[in-house]
Structures are given as C-alpha cells and as structure tokens.
Amino acid sequence: MTADRLTFNTKHLISALVTAGVKNFVISPGSRSTPIALLIAEYAQYDATIHYWVDVDERSAAFFALGLAKGSQQPVVLLATSGTAVLEYLPAVAEAQVSEIPLILLTANRPQELQNLGAAQTIPQIEPFTVYAKNQLSLALQDDEPGVTEYIDFKVQALVHEAWRTPAGPVQIDLPLRKPLLPDMGKAPIEPVQPLTYAAMSKRTLGSPHSLTAYRRIMILAGPNVTEDYQDQLWQFAQAYSIPVWTDILSRVRTPKSLYGLNDWLADDKLDSKYLPDLVLRFGKTPISPNLLSWLKQKAIPIWQIGMPADLDYTRQSQRCFEMSPSEFLNSVACVQSNEQQAFHARWQALKPNKGTSRASNLISCLDQTVKPDQAIFVANSLSIRQMDTYFSGKNSHKIYANRGVNGIDGIISSALGLSVSQKPHRSILLTGDLSFFHDMNGLMMAKKYQLPLDIIIMNNNGGGIFAGLPQAQCKQYFTELFATPLNLDFQAIAQVYDLPYTAVQNVAQLPQLLNQPVTAGPQLILYESDTY
Amino acid sequence: MTADRLTFNTKHLISALVTAGVKNFVISPGSRSTPIALLIAEYAQYDATIHYWVDVDERSAAFFALGLAKGSQQPVVLLATSGTAVLEYLPAVAEAQVSEIPLILLTANRPQELQNLGAAQTIPQIEPFTVYAKNQLSLALQDDEPGVTEYIDFKVQALVHEAWRTPAGPVQIDLPLRKPLLPDMGKAPIEPVQPLTYAAMSKRTLGSPHSLTAYRRIMILAGPNVTEDYQDQLWQFAQAYSIPVWTDILSRVRTPKSLYGLNDWLADDKLDSKYLPDLVLRFGKTPISPNLLSWLKQKAIPIWQIGMPADLDYTRQSQRCFEMSPSEFLNSVACVQSNEQQAFHARWQALKPNKGTSRASNLISCLDQTVKPDQAIFVANSLSIRQMDTYFSGKNSHKIYANRGVNGIDGIISSALGLSVSQKPHRSILLTGDLSFFHDMNGLMMAKKYQLPLDIIIMNNNGGGIFAGLPQAQCKQYFTELFATPLNLDFQAIAQVYDLPYTAVQNVAQLPQLLNQPVTAGPQLILYESDTY
Ligand SMILES: Cc1ncc(C[n+]2csc(CCOP(=O)(O)OP(=O)(O)O)c2C)c(N)n1
Ligand SMILES: Cc1ncc(C[n+]2csc(CCOP(=O)(O)OP(=O)(O)O)c2C)c(N)n1
C-alpha cells in the first residue's frame, strides 16, 4: 500500500463521480477523510465546473446537499470523517430517500483491523443507512490490485446512476483508510475514466392499454412533484378535456386557475353529489392537505395513481397503479370530450379558494404577488407549508420546495441554502416557523460564509403554532411547556452572530422592497410576527 | 381501542420505567408522542423525585440525556415524535453504546397500517438503531388485550435492567400509536406496577485462579472508567506492592502521584530496558493517549485486560481478558512484594510530567488548582481532552467526563449540561474547543431555559487546532479551508442569543474568581484565547 496507490485510486473515485454527473461536493472537516478532501479541492482547481462547500456541522451539511440536489436535480456528494460525523447525515438521508433525492455519501472509515476493538471514532457506519440507501459499497482505495482501479471507475459511475434513476435516492460509499493519509498533491490532478452511459430502459408494457373514455367526471390531483416539469402538457390535456386539476403547492403545476384552497368545502361536506368525480388521477406524492384524500375515501371514488413508485397511498384507495411518469401517462392515454365533463369542470371551477384574513395569509398573498417569475421558495413544515398550500396561487412561480418526505422540522435552513445555490443567479426565499428556524440555526454559517442569496422570512409565533390546532391544546396546564415550547428567540442577536442584515417588518407592505435585493447582496433575515395558529 | 386503554397502558409504561429506576425524562415536542408526554408531566406532578426536561432539538436532547445518565449513573428516558426526530438521536446513541451509558429511547411511531404508504413522518425507525441498541421492542399501547398491560409492566422493567446491566447501553421502545392521541388526564395519575428485581448474577469461574506472584515489574494502566469508583482500593493495592499506576484523565483514579504527562519520554524512546514492565494490567477503556499503548506494543510487553467487555484492545496486544470489574479483580488477585518491583516503581515515579508553557497548559494548570473538591469537568474532544490528559494532575477532582466512546465533536454542550444536572448542588465546568462549541450551539437553549449551573470555558483557537499537528498541515494551499475551518465566531453575540453572562478572560488569573459563582447563578460563557496547536 503506497501513498501513490491511494492518490491514484482516489483520483479515479473523484473522476468517476464527476464523469457520472456530480458537480457539487459538500465536505465536513476531519482527519480520516483527508485524502478525499484534498483531492476534491485539487480537482476543482483544474475543472471550473466542479464546486465544493465546507460545512463543520455534518447535520447541516447533509441538508445543504439535499437542498442543492433538489434544486439542481443532480446528485450531490457528501464527505465526512468516521464516527458520529457520519451518523449526523441520517435525518437528511431519510428525507432524501422518501423524497427521492440523489445523495452520494462518502464516509471515511477506519480499516478492518481496527473495527470493534476500542479504536477511536470507529463504529458500524454502514448498518444505520441500510434501510435508507438504495445501495451501499465499501471501497478499499489503498488496495494495490490493478483490477480495483477499473472497478472504481465502473462501479462508482453505476452507483451514481442508481442514485439518480427514478425513483432517485441516497447511496453510500464507505471508505476504510489506513495511515498514511496524505495524498501526493500537485501531479496530474485529474485521472480520466472510461465513461459508462445508460440508454433509457425499455418500457414495460402494462397488462392492458389504458383509456379514460368510460369516464365523465374525471378529476386530476397533482401531488408533490419531485423532478418532472409537465406543466404545459398537463394544462393542454386538462383544457382539451375540461378536467379540473387540484394542485398541491409542491406539484409545480399550480396556477390561479387550478383548484386549491378549497379545504373548507370538503371539511364541512358542503358539496353535493354533482361534485363527485367518477375517477381521480393522482400524480406525484402524498398531498400536503389530507382533506381531499379523506373526502375521496369517504365517497369511495375510484383512484388511479401515476408515478414511480405508484403504490404509495396511505388512504389505500388507489385501484390502478401506473409505474410511469405523469408525462408518459398523459402521452399515451385516450380520452373523450363530453358535456357532463364540461359541466363538472365548470362546477368545480366556480368554487372560490379561501382568501384568509390572518397575518399569515396576508404574508403569503403578498409573496404570491411579489415573487419573481420562477423564483424559488423553500417552505418549512408545520404551518408554513399548510398555509402556503391554502393561500398561494402560483401566479408567478411554481418553484416551491419543501422537505416533504418525512416532514421534519430539522435541517430547514440548510436545505433552503443548498437550494439557493442551485438557483443562482436568482435569489431564493425561505419561509419558516420559529422552531424550525431554531432547529437548524447552525445552518446559517453557510449563508454567512458563502454569502448565499437567500431571503429568510421567519413567521414568528413564538413556538409550535401548529399544536394549538390539535386536541392537546385543551390541556392548558401542560400545553405551553410540552407542545408550544416558546423559545423567545432574540432574532436580532442571532442575525449578529451570523452577520446577517436583519429587518423586523411590521406589515407586508414592507416586503416587496426588501425582497428586491440583487443576488450579490447575500443572505438576509426578515422577521414577521405571525398568528399563533 | 379506547382512550382509556391508551391512558391505562401508558401509565403502566411510565410506572414500569420509574419502578425500574428511571428518574429523568427528556422530551422533545411533537404530536404523535402526545399521550406519553402528557402522562409523564402528570406523573411528575405527583412524584417529586421524577423530573422531565423539554428540548426542541432532538440531537441536543439525546446528548443532554447522555450527559445526565453519565453523571447520575442512572438510565435516562428520551421521548420523540416519529420521523427524522427519532433519527436525530443516533449520534448520542452510538456514543452511549460505546461508552456504556443506559439510555431508554421512546420513539413514537405511526401504526402498522400507515407504514410505507406515503403517510407523513413515517419511516423505518427501528432499523437504524439495531446495531447500537442492546435491545429493541415495539409496543402497541392501545391493544385491549389484558395480557398486554402485564407484559408492559414486566418487559419494560426488564429492558431498563438490560440497559443498565454491565456493559450498559441504549435500548429502544418504539410506540406505534393511533389517533385519538389525547389521554384521559387528571385521574389516578400513577398506576402501581409489580416490581421486578434482579439478584446479582452468579460469577462465572475463570479457567484458572489468577496470580501475579510470578511478576516483578508490574505496571497498571488505568484507562477511562465508566462506572466504577475503585480509587481507594487501587491505591491501597498499588502502595502495598509498589506498583506504578499510569492514569488516563478519565480513569477517575488520577492523583498527582500517579503517572501521566509522560508522553514525551515514550515518544522519543528515552527509557532504557530498566523501565520495561514484565506485565501490564489494563483497566477500563482505550486511553486518550496512544503513546503508552504503542510503546508497550513495540516492546512486546504482556498485557492483561480487566473489564466488561475485556477484549477491546485495538493494539491486539492483550493476552488475558478478565471479564470482571477492576475491583473484583483486585479483590481476588494474589501478589507479592519484591525489591525489584520497588526499584521499578521508584524509577517510574522519578520521571517528571510535562508541565507545558502554552496558553492551554496554563489554563489547565489553573483549573487543576481552582476546581473544587470533586467538582465535575466535562471535556470536549480534540485538543481539550488531550491537553487535560497531559497537564491535569487530579489533585482536587477526579470527576472528569468526556464523550470518549466515539470521540465526536458533536453534542458537547448538551452532554455537559446534562452532566451538570446530575452534579447539583455543585456547579460543573465545560472545557471545549471553538468548533465543538459551535457544533452544538443549540444545546445552549437548555442552559438558558433551566438556568443550569455550568461554567463553559471555550479554548478558542479559531478552528480545529488539532489538525495543525497532522501531516495535512503541510498542504498550505488547502489547509485552512478544508481542515482548520476558522468560523470567526462572535462569542459575545452568541452569549446574547442565550442570555448568558459572558467574559473574555485575558489571562488565567481571572479564572478563580469567575469560577466561584454560586450554583444559583446559572450558566456562564468564558472565552479564553488558546494556542493554535
Ligand atoms: C425533527 C422534528 N422534530 C419534531 C417534529 C414535530 N413537530 C412538527 S411541527 C412542530 C412545531 C414547529 O414549530 P414552528 O417551526 O415554529 O412552526 P409553526 O408550528 O409555528 O408553524 C414540531 C415540533 C418534527 N416534525 N420534526
Ligand atoms: C461529529 C464530528 N465531526 C468531525 C470530527 C473530526 N474532528 C475531530 S477534531 C475536529 C476539530 C475540532 O475543533 P475544536 O473543537 O475547535 O478543537 P481544537 O482542535 O481546536 O482543540 C474535528 C472536525 C469529529 N470528531 N466529530
């Protein structure tokens, strides 16, 4: 085992990652990962399309990579040293799995002869990821066997492809390394590798051709959408056949003419039988709002679900699963025009979305007006995403993002910052509650360090406002301490810690000007006092 | 399934935990965990020996529980809602496993019929812990079957016992829960359970009685010590037979007359053959300093290792493993006095520990003088713990703690705060580097909220000073960005965010007064500019 072999194979590892489509590396400092970190940095000196980012807190780093992969629709590489550093990745990796984001974990490890013997920073670091990773590999870069280099070239490209292939997800490459860890710097920084390319997989033929011609009250429910931009195609189809489209805020197809903000109609069951669809086509993931789904379930409406995987429906209501993209489905489906469908469409379109009178709805209506065409908004979970789902019309932008795989309140700032990188030269916006903001405050370090163009809007209600709408709100004696958990954050001081321009806005009229910064102005913090619920 | 059954069984769960010895619960807010959180709070109203703590950031919460369990030598319960919240526990759980700390994880979950179907906050949350937990259980509290209540009483006590039994470690109880989640409050808050008690296990007899009578140059190496207080017994034994004792800073047996701070002697191989032991008795875990271990390995000295488990020796040098506590071993071993052993002892005792002239060594010498008898000091990894190991004589206190299982730089503040709870009415001290401080800054919220009596001393060298001593320091072009990673923290502003009294001390003479606060004074932040390396 020589430093040369380590250097040579590590260069192949990096080149294979890049050849397979990786552009961004997010690195956290550590000793065991030394050769990989140094050679990535050197690589980037010679290839201006490659970027690396350094984040001390691995939890934030992983969410940063998640946001960046989400926004760029490209796989992003994470690199950490051995030990708990690696485990810090898990929350973001779980989110990546469920929301289908390609993350490539490089986890430095101690070599086999130091495992499970009391050596420092040495723990099982493959097992915790097994249930979340699409695939895992352990790669001994210091192995002198010549076949190993070829294996790296081939297998690493294959792994990146696997992470990227629909449904996308995380993969892990564990790297047991022996000392000495210092690579040979300054020589032939880039090792070329033989590219491995993939032709599109041949389509499986489904049992029977699918036709909608038997239906007269079709409705489309467009749920959260991970990768596809099928807006134009959908609206052409919907218009041609007068199909009403209920759009989740994360569907990327919401427009003011789509159905949204109608939860009250469903919740109070104000809609008579003329509103009942005879078929619902569900695209994408589970919608934010449970109301439509439970209404459909209660009315026993047939549902076809389209996507990869197409069988994730917690209402257990879907009857046919189409393992294809919405766009493939729309291309191949047969439909007819009918008067009944037209009347059905007109009836739904006549329902008016809830406008709202709360401070939160004011803010969101203002954002709806103010956001630039196709500017990205990252939305935290809890009330933020629900209120966006209810009040945001999508008239200017449908680039709305959230961590809606596992709905964690962790990693929100980092995810939004990662996203903002992918959106340059545009600025991006983050809309978050105060607890979610607190949970990932460390993430702000990346905003400061790289001066990322993100407008962070905190909808502050001093605690978890969402719980005020749940039954436990009745337990007054314990509610505040156990659920609301107000933290009385000093936002001004937080802004100072991270050198962020800070504005507490009194009313929404101040927002348009604040959100009109150039991309070079870097990040800013905007505090908006919101409603408890 | 009725709310009554949920309430009844949850009370049994809590009572079983308490009956088995749990005193502290660390709760993070969430919806799925509602009944458990509320009934813990209610229980604590009626039993003043039970405490609960609320921490929004689950990562910090888990490290807080870890520190509290470490200091109190009692199992501590963690409660989180489903989803990524649960995964945030993993870094602390891995540390608990390796450093043998009993943590009881209660993880709320969605019921089986919502698993893996796209329901919100629903992920596999048992698998990631399997490799770290001693045992895991899934408990359906809403099951009407009467046997279930008895099962809870029995099995939960058994699990706590298992977590606590040497070698201690984490266990997980996953709790799938259906709506409605609101328990019946205000009635019979405490359900008594039948206590399950354990007699000490009968000792296994080892193959042969163990005797030291054949050896004339015995040395003891006391490594990090998890639970045992065998100081007096060890020193009686060592004195009776003139055995030099090399003490790790975490051994809880270090005194000024023990061997420590002698690394230079070993590193430079200045010691001739008269210093070679003919047998080394190793107690406890892997020592901080690798020097003695590598010297012993190089000289091929026979080693006996005593502890549970006794076969964790990454130098693979141990020849006999004694699966018993140091105290049991010392009680049962036969030894003789000899002139050769006396001379050997005198020779080692004549070596002078390294005093140091750095700012770090000054600080530690000052702490050594200033710390109150048996006051606890939590020490961060990286340079802090190494320098403590080199310079701290233990003249006043041997209560030194660290996360030395996996050596993470994560969770340090929270671990120290948890520890400080267990040390009341005494104040505790945290000694940390600036990156470790940053990594768990959120942990400070608990300091503020509960006004915990912790003096936080930051040895600031603006980045990871430890890397300056590693080979990568030669790569000047990348060193600062990839390894040192200076964050230029604004400590004053951080203190303001958490309402902490803040002092930047110019020299160590200011410390004694600062460290002389009453326990009621709550937390404080002390900044000390330290050396790069
Ligand atoms: C990591 C994690 N911990 C806990 C939860 C449970 N949870 C859901 S919403 C919420 C409160 C969020 O408060 P905030 O971000 O202020 O938003 P608000 O409810 O006020 O909109 C909590 C704790 C979660 N989803 N994820
Ligand atoms: C969670 C985690 N991430 C990364 C590491 C690798 N690491 C070890 S020491 C260190 C630097 C610590 O810096 P600081 O706390 O300022 O202490 P100093 O080295 O200056 O003593 C890092 C990043 C680790 N041990 N744990």
Instruction: Give the per-residue SS3 of A143-205.
Output: CCCHHHHHHHHHHHHHHHHHHHCCCCCCEEEEEECCCCCCCCCCCCCCCCCCCCCCCCCCCCC
Q: Do B128 and A128 touch (CB under 8 A)?
A: yes
For ligand 2, the distance from its centroid to the CA atom of residue B142, given in whole angstroms, is 45
Q: Is the CB of A223 under 6 A from ligand 1?
A: no
> For residue A94, which residues of chain B lie inside 8 Å, CB to CB?
83-84, 87, 123
> For residue A441, which residues of chain B lie inside 8 Å, CB to CB?
441-442
Q: How far is CA A301 from CA A232, A273, B114, B472, in A?
A: 27, 12, 20, 64
Q: How far is CA B325 from CA B249, B285, B314, B321, in A?
A: 19, 12, 20, 11
Reduce the DSSP state of residue B27 to 3 states and report it. Answer: strand
For ligand 1, the distance from its centroid to the CA atom of residue B452, given in whole angstroms, is 25
Model confidence pLDDT, tens digit, residues B159-185: 999 999 999 999 999 999 999 999 999
Give the whole-angstrom CA distance, residue B374 versus residue B356. 24
pLDDT at A5: 95
> For residue A129, which residues of chain B lie inside 8 Å, CB to CB?
128
Looking at the domain that runs over B359-529, which CATH code has it been given?
3.40.50.970
Give the whole-angstrom CA distance, residue B342 versus residue B349. 10
Q: Do B467 and A29 touch (CB under 8 A)?
A: yes
Residue B1 has pLDDT above 50, yes or no: no
By the 8 A CB rule, do A524 and A503 touch? yes
pLDDT at A323: 87
By the 8 A CB rule, do B43 and B187 touch? no
Q: What is the 3-state secondary structure (H, E, C) of B113-159?
A: HHCCCCCCCCCCCCHHHHCCCCEEEECCCCCCCHHHHHHHHHHHHHH
CA distance B173 to chain A (A): 17
pLDDT at B268: 81
Contacts 24+ apart (CB under 8 A), A190-195: A190/A11, A190/A15, A190/A43, A190/A46, A190/A47, A191/A8, A191/A11, A191/A12, A191/A15, A192/A15, A193/A12, A193/A15, A193/A16, A193/A19, A193/A153, A193/A157, A194/A153, A194/A154, A195/A19, A195/A157
Give the whole-angstrom CA distance, residue B452 versus residue A219. 58
Cα three-residue angle B135-B139-B141, rounded to 5 degrees: 155
Give the whole-angstrom CA distance, residue A472 versus residue A531. 18
Query: Which residues form the pocket of ligand 2, taking CB atoms under 6 Å from any ligand atom?
Result: A 29-30, 58, 81, 83-85, 88, 121; B 380-384, 407-410, 433-436, 461, 464-466
Q: Is the CB of B30 under 6 A from ligand 1?
A: yes
Domain locations along chain B: 3-176, 218-349, 359-529
Residue B3 or A118, more confident: A118
Q: Average the pLDDT over B66-71 and give the result.
A: 97
Convert A191-212 to b/e letters by CB count within 10 Å (16 or more is b): bebeebeeeeeeeeeeeeeeeb
Pairing verdict, β B502-505 and B454-460:
unpaired
For ligand 2, the distance from its centroid to the CA atom of residue A52, given in whole angstroms, is 20
Q: Do A132 and B124 touch (CB under 8 A)?
A: yes
Give the whole-angstrom CA distance, residue A91 versus residue A88. 7
CATH superfamily of A218-349: TPP-binding domain (3.40.50.1220)
Residue labelled with tokens 């300091």:
B447
DSSP letter at A86 equals H
Top-level class of domain B3-176: alpha beta
By the 8 A CB rule, do A82 and A121 touch? yes
Give the whole-angstrom CA distance, residue A471 versus residue A463. 17
**pLDDT values of chain A reduced to their tens digit, one per residue, 533 residues:** 456 999 999 999 999 999 999 999 999 999 999 999 999 999 999 999 999 999 999 999 999 999 999 999 999 999 999 999 999 999 999 999 999 999 999 999 999 999 999 999 999 999 999 999 999 999 999 999 989 999 999 999 999 999 999 999 999 999 999 999 999 999 888 999 999 988 865 555 555 557 999 999 999 999 999 888 899 999 999 999 999 999 999 999 999 999 999 999 998 889 999 999 999 999 999 999 999 999 999 999 999 999 888 889 999 888 898 988 899 999 989 999 999 999 999 999 999 998 899 999 999 999 999 999 999 999 999 999 999 999 999 999 999 999 999 999 999 999 999 999 999 999 999 999 999 999 999 999 999 999 999 999 999 999 999 999 999 999 999 999 999 999 999 999 999 999 999 999 999 999 999 999 999 999 999 999 999 88
Residue B229 — pLDDT band, cuts 50, 70, 90? confident
Reduce the DSSP state of residue B199 to 3 states and report it. Answer: coil
Q: Do B84 and A94 touch (CB under 8 A)?
A: yes
pLDDT at A1: 44
> For residue A37, which residues of chain B lie inside 8 Å, CB to CB?
478, 482-483
